[in-house]
Amino acid sequence: MRTPLDPRAGAALLAVAFLGWASVEAVHAVAARRGFPGGRRAVAPDVVVVLGCPPRPDGTVSGMQRWRTEIAVRTPGEPVLVFSGYARPGAPSEAAVMAAHARDGLGVDPARLRTEETATTTWENVVRTLGDLEGARHVALASSPVHALRARRYLARLRPDLAARLVPATDYRPGERWGWKAATAGYDLARSIGLRTLKTSDVRARSSPDGCVHPVGDARRGHVDIR
């Protein structure tokens, strides 16, 4: 016979669960408002760079890729969407998979889509799309809020002039993809804070992780695997 749960214990568990949920949401909500050297302006971007993340092992679009692509597509205006991410041997590139999802799954005009298919890290996502940002008046970086914050800080280190053009992507929505938010919040927040004390050369050397929640068995280092 099971012992009935003490109502006070049940209330305490609910309080702890709510605190955990609220803490994760707060981290992402704050991150979504940080990292805009020119001020956080409600302006539609001309270009959105979508940070890379691996597809599923069979080469189809992963859940994290769907989220990042949706963030880019729902961002106001009709910006050019630049998908960045490399291809593992024998597989389509991260960029190509996300661009195909935008085109075929979300109905985006192919004329708005570009791909950069060599970047293997968040740092490289930023470095290798600088040319796409050059002629834009306003630019945005699309990923989970905490990961996008880290990328904005990379851009500020690399090109302060382009970072001054940053405007928000529509990345934060309360309760959306909470499991992935929880998996990435502490990691990316800690790396973003650490950027304040690192030289640019140190950032480049330590930039391997890309903020993704990866399928089990992915070959990259330093990622969180959840199902």
Pick from 12-26, 32-46, 119-133, 145-159: least confident:
12-26
Residue 114's pLDDT is what?
Answer: 98
Cα–Cα dist 124/75, whole Å: 23
Tell me the percentage of the chain whose pLDDT exceeds 70.
Answer: 72
Pick from 9-13, 58-62, 90-94: least confident:
9-13
Q: Cα dist. 155→79, 81, 123, 148 in Å? A: 19, 17, 8, 10
Residue 223's pLDDT is what?
Answer: 31
Q: What is the pLDDT of residues 85-109, one digit of tens each?
A: 999 998 999 999 999 999 999 999 9
Pick from 19-23, 47-51, 98-102, 194-198: least confident:
194-198
Answer yes or no: pTM beyond 0.85.
no
Residue 97's pLDDT is what?
Answer: 98
Q: Which tokens go with 124?
A: 């490289």
CA 138 to chain CA mean position, Å: 18
Cα–Cα dist 16/187, whole Å: 21
Is the Cβ–Cβ distance between 125 and 151 less than 8 Å? yes
3-state secondary structure at position 2:
coil
Average pLDDT, the chain: 82
Q: Which tokens go with 74?
A: 């729902």
Cα–Cα dist 222/30, whole Å: 24
Report for 139-143, 182-186, 222-226: range of highest mean pLDDT: 139-143
Indicate whether 196 pLDDT > 70.
Answer: no
Residue 24's pLDDT is what?
Answer: 77
DSSP class of residue 92? -
For residue 12, name the pLDDT band (cuts at 50, 70, 90).
low
Total residues belonging to the chain? 227
- The full 3-state SS of 96-165, as one line of letters, equals HHHHHHHHHHCCCCHHHEEEECCCCCHHHHHHCCHHHHCCCCCEEEECCHHHHHHHHHHHHHHCHHHHCC
Indicate whether 213 pLDDT > 60.
Answer: no
Residue 7's pLDDT is what?
Answer: 67
Residue 28's pLDDT is what?
Answer: 86
Q: Cα dist. 97→4, 118, 134, 161, 225 in Å? A: 50, 14, 25, 31, 20
Q: Rg of the Cα trace of the chain?
A: 18
Higher local confidence (pLDDT), 3 or 140: 140
Cα–Cα dist 131/40, whole Å: 23
